């Protein structure tokens, strides 16, 4: 099933007819509560009333096979089950920070369908027995204020708290959100305990991406069978992707997992110039060579020789004329700067890797540099308190594989003209990057 519609193609005001396998699902409603209710109906809390209802809801999410849309693709029903099994009353965190520069699907979802996210958060809270929901969004934007205004129109059985999170790449990692809420420090913490065991105020804490929560609302309303009408067996439902780079219509799209990479590029209007590779999964993702990777089916399962997955859903088409090594060196430098500087391998390893990559990209490369780079990447992977170093090294590793021919050329002392082209991968403006962790 590979239907895709742009956000503009609205089908509002259909009430309960949304029981067919068409897209869009998430971006079909309205910004305001009345429009939202007209499209999606009332929040189905009554149907899941009481302890039995609560269990039924968790079972529905599990049967639907929903997987987290925040990057890792972890099964949401399983996480809910663990959180609900704790001794204390749980807490829910809706993660809407979207620190990933190559992604803006969460921001678009919160702008276009805020009440779907909020409905989902209320239902998730009910599913695990929580009475408090923390909505975490990036500081310095209008998102928090807008959500606060929408929440004021609602009458929910939970207490809401908006949390304005420092604009740092790693502050949106789940333990960093817990840390910020508990102690006012937005840096990740070491596990164990993980948030689902012991999070906000020592309670079991369900951290879910805002898109995940929107799907929770849809599953509660239309059922697991409906949810599974699109997507793959392992990765059902629709999912949001942000397509950027050298395509005619860069935008957020709602797709069904299983769709091929080339079809996603076509759906975004196709390439505007020859494409050499596509970055899939944002800055913790992998470079896929084109046109070889055209037929790669995208989902939250790892696939292809490089273990490509949709991750956070950021997809960027790189022109063949651009230098993928230079692009990667620049992004890995950014990721190194964004380290919370708490763990040795992340604090020292990522800058060292970024420097080696720059050497490879800008023609100061020799076999020893490449060897050192490979060794360093293997050394850093898996050794941080959070997965930041793993994501950065995955990106770098895939660059060396996908742009292997370029590496050879650069090693021979040739620097390609690509390095002087304007960068394609987006990075946040320095003025929009917080220095403080508070």
Partner 1 sequence: MTAPNPEGLRLQVDMIKCVGHASCFELLPERVSLDEWGFPIIETDPLPQHLVAHARRAVAACPTLALRVDGKVARVR
Ligand X SMILES: Cc1cc2nc3c(=O)[nH]c(=O)nc-3n(C[C@H](O)[C@H](O)[C@H](O)COP(=O)(O)O)c2cc1C
Give yes or no for a contact between 126 and 85, defined as CB atoms under 8 angstroms apart. no
Residues from 358 through 417 that contact partner 1 (CB under 8 A): 376, 379, 382-385, 387, 390
To the nearest 10 degrees (0 to 180), the angle between helices 33-40 and 210-227 is 20
Residues from 335 through 394 that contact ligand SF4 (CB under 6 A): 339-343, 346-347, 384-386, 388-389
| Closest-approach residue to ligand SF4 (CB) | 384
Binding of residue 95 to ligand X (CB under 6 A): yes
* 169 vs 253, beta carbon nearer ligand X: 169
Give yes or no for a contact between 127 and 51, defined as CB atoms under 8 angstroms apart. no
> Three-state SS for 177?
helix
* 137 vs 170, beta carbon nearer ligand SF4: 170
Binding of residue 255 to ligand SF4 (CB under 6 A): no
Bridge partners, residue 242, by sequence? 252, 314
Helices in 229-366 by DSSP H: which ranges?
Answer: 261-267, 324-337, 344-361
CA 234 vs. chain centroid, Å, equals 18
For residue 265, what are the CA distances in angstroms to 26, 141, 241, 254?
Answer: 20, 30, 11, 13
Of 435, 428, 434, nearest in space to 103 by CA: 428
- Kindly tell me which residue out of 4, 40, 77, 98 binds ligand X, with binding defined by CB under 6 A: 98
Interface with partner 1 by CB under 8 A: which range of 91-99, 147-155, 300-308, 342-350?
342-350
* 218 vs 380, beta carbon nearer ligand SF4: 380
Q: Decide which of ligand X, partner 1, ligand SF4, none touches 339; Cβ closer than 5 to 8 Å per partner kind.
A: ligand SF4
In the complex, the smallest distance separating the C-beta of residue 135 from ligand SF4, rounded to whole angstroms, is 23
Token pair belonging to 211: 């898109």
Sheet containing strand 314-319, strands side by side? 5-6, 251-255, 239-245, 314-319, 275-280, 286-289
Residues from 33 through 92 that contact ligand X (CB under 6 A): 68-72, 74
Cα distance between residue 277 and residue 132, in whole Å = 44
* 81 vs 393, beta carbon nearer ligand SF4: 393
- Kindly tell me which residue out of 39, 81, 99, 398 binds ligand X, with binding defined by CB under 6 A: 99
Give yes or no for a contact between 354 and 388, defined as CB atoms under 8 angstroms apart. no
Residues from 176 through 205 that contact partner 1 (CB under 8 A): 189-192, 194
Give yes or no for a contact between 291 and 387, defined as CB atoms under 8 angstroms apart. no
- Kindly tell me which residue out of 62, 342, 369, 409 binds partner 1, with binding defined by CB under 8 A: 342
Binding of residue 85 to partner 1 (CB under 8 A): no
In the complex, the smallest distance separating the C-beta of residue 390 from partner 1, rounded to whole angstroms, is 8
In the complex, the smallest distance separating the C-beta of residue 46 from ligand SF4, rounded to whole angstroms, is 42
* 53 vs 193, beta carbon nearer ligand SF4: 193
Give yes or no for a contact between 48 and 65, defined as CB atoms under 8 angstroms apart. no
For residue 316, what are the CA distances in angstroms to 26, 250, 277, 325?
Answer: 22, 9, 9, 15
Interface with ligand SF4 by CB under 6 A: which range of 10-18, 152-160, 334-342, 370-378?
334-342
Residues lying near ligand SF4 in the complex (CB under 6 A) = 170, 188, 339-343, 346-347, 384-386, 388-389
Residues lying near partner 1 in the complex (CB under 8 A) = 189-192, 194, 342-346, 348-349, 376, 379, 382-385, 387, 390
């Amino acid at each position: 099933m590979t239907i895709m519609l742009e956000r503009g193609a609205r089908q509002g005001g259909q009430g309960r007819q949304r029981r067919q396998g068409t897209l869009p699902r998430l971006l079909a409603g309205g910004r305001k509560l009345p429009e939202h209710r007209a499209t999606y109906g009332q929040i189905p809390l009554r149907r899941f009333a009481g302890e039995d209802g609560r269990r039924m809801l968790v079972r529905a999410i599990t049967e639907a096979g929903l997987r987290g849309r925040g990057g890792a693709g972890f099964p949401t029903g399983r996480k809910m089950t663990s959180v609900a099994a704790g001794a204390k009353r749980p807490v829910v965190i809706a993660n809407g920070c979207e620190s990933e520069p190559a992604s803006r699907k969460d921001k678009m979802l919160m702008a276009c369908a805020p009440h779907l996210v909020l409905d989902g958060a209320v239902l998730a809270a009910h599913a695990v027995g929580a009475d408090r929901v923390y909505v975490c969004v990036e500081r310095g934007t209008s998102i928090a204020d807008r959500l606060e205004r929408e929440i004021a129109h609602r009458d929910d059985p939970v207490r809401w708290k908006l949390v304005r999170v420092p604009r740092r790449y790693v502050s949106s990692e789940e333990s960093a959100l817990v840390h910020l809420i508990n102690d006012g420090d937005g840096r990740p913490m070491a596990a164990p305990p993980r948030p689902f065991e012991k999070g906000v105020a020592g309670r079991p804490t369900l951290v879910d991406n805002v898109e995940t929560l929107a799907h929770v609302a849809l599953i509660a309303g239309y059922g697991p069978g409906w949810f599974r009408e699109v997507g793959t067996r392992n990765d059902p439902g629709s999912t949001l992707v942000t397509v950027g780079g050298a395509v005619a219509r860069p935008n957020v799209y709602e797709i069904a997992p299983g769709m091929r990479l080339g079809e996603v590029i076509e759906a975004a209007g196709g390439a505007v110039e020859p494409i050499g590779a596509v970055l899939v999964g944002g800055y913790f993702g992998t470079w896929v060579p084109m046109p070889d990777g055209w037929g790669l089916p995208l989902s939250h399962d790892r696939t292809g020789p490089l273990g490509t997955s949709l991750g956070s859903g950021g997809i960027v088409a790189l022109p063949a004329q651009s230098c993928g090594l230079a692009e990667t060196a620049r992004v890995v430098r950014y990721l190194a700067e964004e380290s919370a500087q708490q763990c040795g391998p992340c604090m020292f390893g990522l800058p060292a890797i970024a420097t080696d990559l720059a050497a490879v990209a800008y023609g100061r490369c020799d076999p020893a540099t490449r060897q050192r780079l490979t060794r360093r990447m293997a050394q850093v992977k898996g050794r941080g308190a959070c997965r930041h170093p793993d994501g950065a090294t995955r990106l770098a590793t895939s660059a060396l594989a996908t742009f292997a021919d370029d590496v050879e050329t650069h090693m021979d002392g040739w620097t390609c003209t690509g390095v002087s082209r304007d960068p394609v991968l987006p990075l946040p403006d320095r003025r929009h990057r917080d220095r403080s962790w508070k």
